[in-house]
Amino acid sequence: MTKIIGLTGQIGSGKSLAASILANQGAAIIDADALARQVVEPGQPAYEEIHEAFGSEYVLPQGGLNRKALATLVFSNEEARRRLNDITHPRIREQAQCLIERYRSEGWQLIVLEAALLIGSSFTDMLDEIWLITAPAQQIYNRLTQRDGLSDAEITSRLKAQLSPEVQATTADHVITNDSNAQNLSEQLYSLTGKILT
């Protein structure tokens, strides 16, 4: 029997690391961020809708979205973020559902949907469980500064646009704390996957 897990957590919490560990442990991974990039490529309906909704300033001269400008807008403007989600989320969900069905037909025991905006979204009815990755705030700030070159103000803006770990934990089936190293994270995840994967 296939189990479908939603892997979520705030930006910088370590979701991608957790997903790579789960892949090594035998899970099929669906990256919602990758799907989000695919559905807004030039020529896709979502690309045209975003262009129409937000204007040419959010489209690069050579084509494609100006992701940095769009991110700055949506992480500081709730209405803009809601409008963007209304355009992209149904298409991301459709792609994710197709991949779930494909992996299920291929016999995968564990399918993991990695997504930052999971709890409270339209994706939750696709899932059997939700696993939440958390990390201390200082570690999140350090990771995002080093990895993405974001300022403290930019990080704060992005974190405010997401549910707090405390709120997410009330819905999550399991909370995994990523406050040590990859080995510790791997051991915590294995304590869960070991009960699923045979």
The mean per-residue pLDDT over the stretch 80-95 comes to: 94
For residue 120, is pLDDT > 90? no
The mean per-residue pLDDT over the stretch 84-105 comes to: 95
For residue 121, is pLDDT > 80? no
Global pTM value = 0.91
- Whether the Cβ atoms of residue 92 and residue 80 lie closer than 8 Å to each other: no
At residue 104, what is the residue type?
R
Tell me how far apart the alpha carbons of residues 103 and 156 are, in angstroms, rounded to a whole number.
37
DSSP state at residue 141: H
CATH entry, 3-38+91-193, from 3.50.50.60, 1.10.1200.10, 3.40.50.300, 3.90.550.10: 3.40.50.300
Residues across the chain = 198
Tell me how far apart the alpha carbons of residues 11 and 48 are, in angstroms, rounded to a whole number.
27
Tell me how far apart the alpha carbons of residues 151 and 10 are, in angstroms, rounded to a whole number.
16
Q: What is the pLDDT of residue 100?
A: 97
Q: What is the pLDDT of residue 116?
A: 85
Q: What is the pLDDT of residue 122?
A: 76
